[in-house]
Amino acid sequence: MNVYDSARMADVLAPLGYTPVDGAAGADMIILNTCHIREKAAEKVYSELGRLKGLKDRPVAEGGPVIIAVAGCVAQAEGAEILRRAPYVDIVFGPQTYHRLPEMVARAGRAGGAVLDTEFPPEPKFDGLPEPTAGKGRSAFLTVQEGCDKFCTFCVVPYTRGAEYSRPAADVLAEARHYAAAGVREITLLGQNVNCYHGEGPRGGEWGLGRLIAEIAEIVGVDRIRYTTSYPADMDGSLIAAHRDVAELMPFLHLPVQSGSDRVLAAMNRRHGGAEYRRLVDKLRKARPDLALSSDFIVGFPGETDADFRQTLEMVEDIGFTQAYSFKYSPRPGTPASLEPQVDDQTKIDRLAALQELLDSQQRAFNEGCVGRVMGVLFDCRGRVPGQLVGRSPYMQPVHAQVAESLLGTIQPLRITGGFANSLAGALTGSAAA
Residue 321 sits in the site that holds ligand SAH (CB under 6 A): no
**Coil, strand, or helix at residue 306?**
helix
Please state the φ and ψ torsions of residue 69, each to the nearest 5 degrees.
Answer: -125, 150
Residue 211 sits in the site that holds ligand SAH (CB under 6 A): no
Least distance from ligand SAH to the Cβ atom of residue 254, Å:
9
Residue 277 sits in the site that holds ligand SAH (CB under 6 A): no
Judged by CB under 6 A, the residue of 133, 229, 356, 388 near ligand SAH is 229
Residues 6+ apart with CB under 8 A from 289: none
Nearer to ligand SAH, 232 or 419 (CB): 232
Q: First CA to last CA across the chain, in angstroms?
A: 40
Judged by CB under 6 A, the residue of 18, 93, 154, 197 near ligand SAH is 154
Residue 195 sits in the site that holds ligand SAH (CB under 6 A): no
Query: By CB under 6 A, how many residues form the interface with ligand SAH?
Result: 16
| Alpha carbon distance 122, 88 (integer Å) | 30
Question: In this chain, which stretch among 53-61, 74-82, 325-333, 390-398 interacts with ligand SAH, using CB under 6 A?
Answer: 325-333
Judged by CB under 6 A, the residue of 116, 144, 155, 343 near ligand SAH is 155
Residue length of the chain: 434
* Contact pattern for ligand SAH over residues 23 through 62, marking x by CB under 6 A: --------------xx------------------------
**Coil, strand, or helix at residue 408?**
coil
DSSP code of residue 226 = E
Least distance from ligand SAH to the Cβ atom of residue 417, Å:
34
Cis before 188? omega within 30: no
**Coil, strand, or helix at residue 379?**
strand
Least distance from ligand SAH to the Cβ atom of residue 326, Å:
8
What string of DSSP letters covers 82-134? Answer: HHHH-TT--EEE-TT-GGGHHHHHHHHHSSSS-EEE----SS-GGGG--PPP-
Residue 429 sits in the site that holds ligand SAH (CB under 6 A): no
Residue 256 sits in the site that holds ligand SAH (CB under 6 A): yes
Least distance from ligand SAH to the Cβ atom of residue 155, Å:
5
Closest CA to 68 of 95, 86, 84, 42: 86
| Alpha carbon distance 26, 57 (integer Å) | 12
- Where do contacts with ligand SAH occur on this chain (CB under 6 A)? 37-38, 154-155, 192-193, 229, 231, 256, 258, 296, 298, 327, 329-330, 332
